[in-house]
Structure 1
Amino acid sequence: MRTTTTTVALLAATAFLLPTSAHAASEPRLGDCAAGELCLWSKAGFKGTRHVYDLAHTDIESCTPLPPGTDAQSLANRMGRPVTTYQSAECAETGEFDTHPGAGTWMPQVPYRVKAFKVWES
């Protein structure tokens, strides 16, 4: 009886250490994209190569293409400013594009491959 009680207690204690769902385990950690950054991942679910941009190294209201031959399938906008992402590497509005608010937007899967972006003043 004592062994059963001990086993049950140990199982209950370890349950708190495990993620509550597969969704929780796939969520990015806040430290994966710091405040003031735009983070773009090459694969859905915040996986793959990550490109990080901040205001100190990004022109406002200018088209910023991702490095040649790369694109992004998930993103986090923590810049504090709206960011428009584009399917076109030239920020052309003939392809898909979306504006993401700067209040901490996390998108595990964008509906198109992001190839460029613009950061807006407000």
Structure 2
Amino acid sequence: MATGFLTPDQAVAAGGRLGDCGAGQLCLWEKPQFKGERLTFELADTDIESCVVLPKGFTADAYANHTGRPVTLYQSAECASTGDFHTHPDGSYTPESAYQVRAFKIWER
């Protein structure tokens, strides 16, 4: 069970594999270790500092942030701070979340 994010070098050094996620994207996988269905959000198509709710029935358990900006991932589907949430820097990988992600916000730098 992972409790935070890893840089690409840390993930590879730990024997993990990185999820495929392009520049300007936030990628979310339904299963740990970047497996299962993947959703990809483009920075160019996503409102900055707005709560983006994942599609009904989809929760993310692994993610990669390549947006060029910090991203907060929320357990709450309303981006509420009553559940778990963490902010991840650009270039970070999380092979296994400590909670099921249901929404996110991309922040200005």
The root-mean-square deviation of aligned C-alpha atoms, in Å, is: 1.1
* Residue identity opposite 1:110 in structure 2: S
Whole-Å Cα distance in 1 between the matches of residues 47 and 94 of structure 2? 23
Q: Please tell me whether the aligned partners of residues 24 and 44 of structure 2 are also in contact (alpha carbons under 8 angstroms).
A: no
* CA-CA distance at 1:50 after TM superposition: 0.3
* CA-CA distance at 1:69 after TM superposition: 1.0
Whole-Å Cα distance in 2 between the matches of residues 88 and 54 of structure 1? 21
1:72-91 map, 5 Å: 72-91=60-79
Correspondent of 1:47 among 19, 32, 35: 35
What TM-score does the superposition give when structure 1 sets the normalisation length?
Answer: 0.75
Structure with the bigger percentage of strand: 2
After superposition, the C-alpha distances for 1:34-66 in whole angstroms (9 at most, x for unaligned) are 011000000000000000001111100000010
Q: Tell me the number of residue pairs that the alignment of Structure 1 and Structure 2 aligns.
A: 96
Matched with 1:35 is 23
Structure with the bigger percentage of helix: 1
Q: Secondary structure at the match of 1:45?
A: helix
Q: Secondary structure at the match of 1:94?
A: coil
* Residue identity opposite 1:119 in structure 2: I
Higher Cα Rg, which structure: 1
* Residue identity opposite 2:102 in structure 1: K
* Residue identity opposite 1:61 in structure 2: E
1:60 correspondence with 2:39: no
What TM-score does the superposition give when structure 2 sets the normalisation length?
Answer: 0.84
Runs of 4 or more above 3 Å deviation: none
Matched with 2:9 is none
Whole-Å Cα distance in 2 between the matches of residues 91 and 78 of structure 1? 20
Whole-Å Cα distance in 2 between the matches of residues 83 and 117 of structure 1? 7
